[in-house]
């Protein structure tokens, strides 16, 4: 009897030890999105919901964000290990904070093209970039499209634009009211927000930056210098799990929205499904992404962007493209082969 109790106690002790060791091998990672829990956030919420991060021995906490600039700053501060942010915002941080000890680095491209565009109601008569000359444009001061507008303006000879700043929730409302002639924003965000305010899509002029000479990259996964030095294996594991989840999202975006809904119960499933599909079609499974490969970059294009951001953002120092990108953590090309034909 005593021997049996001893064996049971030993078994429990061994099980506890194994569990403890397994737990110790799990790496906690704090991840911040660039924005709220919307359709595109399924790219990260789906691999979490399906246990892909857990299978990779990662305990990933995913938080909403309030803009790419904030995400970059929080990863730099050490508050987050990994983030999702506009590459231009990352470049600006590097160039304006050359001595910062923990400058984040982009390790995987997700939005191969910037989602930024200029949007106007057709009744204003705005049909082309030339029609923006002397017009009043509106956007939050930190909006990626507004920050990069000088690049768009230079490529299309647009001059005399006057800017009106507002909080993000008021951007589309002010356009509908006629307070501004046009707005800048991510197409898959502002276009659907306009529809939610009663504007039909066919009544909106959309001037996507990539269609008008602006070849900027969009959002990338960024990591802290600290994580790169202390646990590079965790970065590789994260990107591999992410790619697996992203493949599922692209294959069935409708099902992926359930993972967004599970995280934020008030989201409009139909609206966010459309938003995700629009993001996939315009910036994830784009012609440039298929040519360069999902997750990857083109060196000359990155260098051109670095130069354009330096000029448009009037940074303290010039952006060094080699300092903002590190592709050594990317999964094998077979894992990155997730883009289907259009």
- 316-330 pLDDT per residue, tens: 999 999 999 999 999
**pLDDT tens digits along 198-225:** 999 999 999 999 999 999 999 999 999 9
What's the confidence (pLDDT) of residue 341? Answer: 73
pTM value? 0.90
Q: Is 324 in contact with 91 (CB distance < 8 Å)?
A: yes
Provide the domain count of the chain. Answer: 2
Domain containing 259 — which CATH number?
Answer: 3.40.190.10
DSSP 8-state symbol, 125? T
What's the confidence (pLDDT) of residue 205? Answer: 98
Residue that finishes a domain, picked among 212, 244, 274: 212
Q: Please list, in sequence order, all residues whose beta carbon lies within 8 angstroms of the beta carbon of residue 160, skipping any fewer than 6 positions away.
A: 133, 134, 135
Average pLDDT, stretch 176-183? 98
**pLDDT tens digits along 224-263:** 999 999 999 999 999 999 999 999 999 999 999 999 999 9
Q: Is residue 236 part of a domain?
A: yes
What's the confidence (pLDDT) of residue 12? Answer: 53
Residue that finishes a domain, picked among 187, 212, 237: 212
pLDDT cut 90: percent of the chain above it: 90
Average pLDDT, stretch 72-94? 97
pLDDT cut 70: percent of the chain above it: 93
Is residue 21 predicted with pLDDT exceeding 50?
A: no
Please give the mean pLDDT across all residues of the chain: 93
Q: Is residue 226 part of a domain?
A: yes
What's the distance, Cα to Cα, between the start and end of the chain in Å? 70
Q: Is 326 in contact with 106 (CB distance < 8 Å)?
A: yes
Domain match, 60 and 205 both: no
Q: Is 264 in contact with 39 (CB distance < 8 Å)?
A: no
C-alpha span between 160 and 273 (Å, rounded): 38
Q: Is residue 260 part of a domain?
A: yes
Domain match, 226 and 328 both: yes
Is residue 2 predicted with pLDDT exceeding 80?
A: no
Q: Is residue 89 part of a domain?
A: yes
Average pLDDT, stretch 72-97? 97
User: Beta strands 116-121 and 182-186: pairing type?
Assistant: antiparallel
Domain match, 32 and 173 both: no
Domain match, 239 and 260 both: yes
Domain match, 223 and 308 both: yes
Domain match, 236 and 102 both: yes
Domain match, 223 and 331 both: yes
What's the confidence (pLDDT) of residue 25? Answer: 87
Residue 151 has φ and ψ, to the nearest 5°, of: -70, -45
153's tokens: 């303006």
* Nearest of 215, 200, 236, 223 to residue 289 by alpha carbon: 215
Domain match, 105 and 224 both: yes
Q: Is residue 5 part of a domain?
A: no
**pLDDT tens digits along 115-165:** 999 999 999 999 999 999 999 999 999 899 999 999 999 999 999 999 999
Is residue 10 predicted with pLDDT exceeding 80?
A: no
Domain match, 102 and 238 both: yes
Domain match, 166 and 246 both: no
What is the residue range of 122's domain?
116-212
Domain match, 240 and 309 both: yes
The confidence band for 4, taking pLDDT boundaries of 50, 70 and 90, is low
Domain match, 144 and 274 both: no
Residue that finishes a domain, picked among 186, 212, 238: 212
Is residue 283 predicted with pLDDT exceeding 70?
A: yes
Is residue 13 predicted with pLDDT exceeding 80?
A: no
Q: Is residue 192 part of a domain?
A: yes
The confidence band for 271, taking pLDDT boundaries of 50, 70 and 90, is very high
Q: Is residue 183 part of a domain?
A: yes
Rg (alpha carbons) of the chain, rounded to whole number: 22
Q: Is residue 134 part of a domain?
A: yes
Q: Please list, in sequence order, all residues whose beta carbon lies within 8 angstroms of the beta carbon of residue 196, skipping any fewer than 6 positions away.
A: 172, 271
């Amino acid at each position: 009897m005593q021997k049996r109790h001893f064996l049971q106690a030993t078994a429990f002790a061994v099980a506890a030890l194994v569990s403890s060791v397994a737990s110790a091998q799990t790496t906690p990672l704090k991840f911040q999105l660039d924005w709220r829990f919307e359709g595109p956030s399924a790219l990260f919420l789906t691999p979490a919901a399906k246990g892909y991060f857990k299978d990779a021995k990662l305990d990933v906490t995913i938080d909403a964000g309030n803009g790419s600039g904030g995400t970059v700053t929080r990863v730099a501060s050490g508050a987050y290990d990994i983030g999702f942010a506009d590459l231009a915002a990352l470049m600006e941080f590097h160039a304006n904070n050359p001595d910062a000890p923990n400058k984040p680095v982009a390790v995987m491209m997700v939005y191969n093209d910037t989602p930024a565009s200029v949007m106007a109601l057709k009744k204003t008569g705005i049909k082309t970039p030339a029609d923006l000359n002397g017009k009043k444009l509106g956007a939050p001061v930190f909006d990626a499209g507004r920050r990069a507008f000088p690049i768009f303006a230079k490529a299309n000879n647009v001059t005399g634009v006057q800017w009106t700043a507002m909080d993000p929730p008021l951007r589309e409302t002010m356009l509908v009211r006629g307070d501004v002639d046009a707005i800048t924003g991510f197409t898959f965000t502002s276009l659907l927000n306009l529809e939610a305010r009663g504007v039909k899509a066919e009544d909106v002029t959309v001037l996507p930056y990539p269609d008008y000479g602006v070849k900027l990259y969009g959002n990338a996964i960024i990591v802290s210098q600290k994580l790169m030095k202390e646990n590079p294996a965790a970065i590789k594991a994260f990107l591999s799990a992410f790619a697996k989840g992203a493949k599922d999202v692209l294959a069935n975006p409708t099902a992926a929205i359930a993972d967004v809904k599970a995280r934020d119960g008030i989201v409009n499933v139909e609206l966010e499904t459309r938003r995700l599909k629009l993001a996939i079609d315009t910036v994830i499974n784009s012609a440039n992404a298929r040519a360069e490969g999902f997750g990857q970059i083109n060196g000359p294009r990155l260098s051109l962007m670095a130069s354009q951001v330096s000029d448009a953002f009037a940074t303290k120092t010039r952006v060094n493209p080699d300092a903002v990108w590190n592709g050594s953590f990317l999964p094998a090309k077979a894992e990155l082969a997730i883009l289907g034909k259009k």
